[in-house]
Structures are given as C-alpha cells and as structure tokens.
Amino acid sequence: MILSKEFIFDEFVEKYLDEPLVHSFCKSCENYNLNYSCPVHNDSLVEKYKYYKYITIYIYKDTYDEFISHGDAYLNARTYIDKAIFDFEKESNSIGLIPGKCMLCNPCLKTLDKPCPTPELIRHSLETIGFHVSNIIENEFSEKLEWDSNILHLVFGALSNQPITAEFDDFLKFYI
C-alpha cells in the first residue's frame, strides 16, 4: 500500500521540524555519524531545502513473511523505492527524500574516513533533516510505526516547486 500527501513546505517545516529532538533519537542508530547522509552535519539541512515550495510525503506499507528478516525486507524495498526516487527526479524538477541512509556505497566511505565520491547524489531522509516522522504519519496518515510485527513502513518523499503528487503517484506504479 502506498499513501501520499502534499504540503506547503514552509507550513510543514513549522509543524514538524524538531531537529534537536529527532537527532537525539538518531544517536541510538548504528549509522549515526557513520554515513555522509546522516547526522552529524555542520549546518542545518533544512536551509538547503528552503528553495522548494512543496513537499510530498509517501508511506510505503507492506507485510513480509516470517522467513524473511525485517532487515532483508527493508533492503529489498529500498532497491526499488530508491530507483523510483532517482528516476522521478530525471522526469521532474524534484529532489527526492530517501527512506533512510544513503546506500550508494557499501560501506559508506565515511566509515573509512574517505571523501564521498559522489556528493551530488547524496539524498537525505526526513529524519536527517530533522522532521518528526512518527508525528507526521500519525497526524497526517492515521498510521503508526510498528517495530514488533511483520509490517514494513518506509517513509520517503520529494520536494518541488510545483505540485507533483499525481505525477509521482502514477510514476511509482511502475516500481512498486
């Protein structure tokens, strides 16, 4: 199942940005400060995106069977969602928001203290920018993140200067 909703970006920032709180949650993640797309960043990322007028949020929700781990189900979904996000950027004037860390290299070269080879391809997650994702999905989609079930939730999106939700909805049907 895919759910989507479009917001005026300034209003969305006002309502859901809480960078200090969200990044305090990030500290318990194994990727914290070990991936260039994840915190810690020197500057506030939201400033980088203030150029955009609209933000569209997507929730991908699916179940996976007991023989597959949550991690494998997540990685499998990431392969086609990330491809859809990057392909849609080429068809529109949008920039994608990925559902987690950058996975273009394995491991991220930050773990080896080497520079990112493709900084122009780094995309950020909502959490990395500082958005309170669980509040977004509860308030806007009446959904809840569930960690102790076989339900997979991936939250991603795109920023743009014109409404893109209908176009992105159609585009995603070829991938998901």
Applying CB under 6 A, the residues found at the interface with ligand SF4 are 35-37, 102, 104-105, 108-110, 116, 118, 121-122
- Closest distance of CB 106 from ligand SF4, Å: 7
Nearer to ligand SF4, 20 or 115 (CB): 115
**Are the beta carbons of 39 and 32 closer than 8 angstroms?**
yes
Nearer to ligand SF4, 31 or 165 (CB): 31
Residues 6+ apart with CB under 8 A from 114: none
- Closest distance of CB 51 from ligand SF4, Å: 21
Nearer to ligand SF4, 8 or 121 (CB): 121
- Closest distance of CB 122 from ligand SF4, Å: 5
- Closest distance of CB 153 from ligand SF4, Å: 23
Q: What DSSP element (H or E) covers 140?
A: helix 133-141
Rounded to 5°, the CA angle 143-149-154 comes to 50
Nearer to ligand SF4, 111 or 134 (CB): 111
- Closest distance of CB 71 from ligand SF4, Å: 17
**Are the beta carbons of 174 and 69 closer than 8 angstroms?**
no
**Are the beta carbons of 94 and 160 closer than 8 angstroms?**
yes
**Are the beta carbons of 147 and 134 closer than 8 angstroms?**
no
Nearer to ligand SF4, 17 or 105 (CB): 105
Half-sphere exposure (Cβ direction) of 40: Cα atoms closer than 13 Å: 5
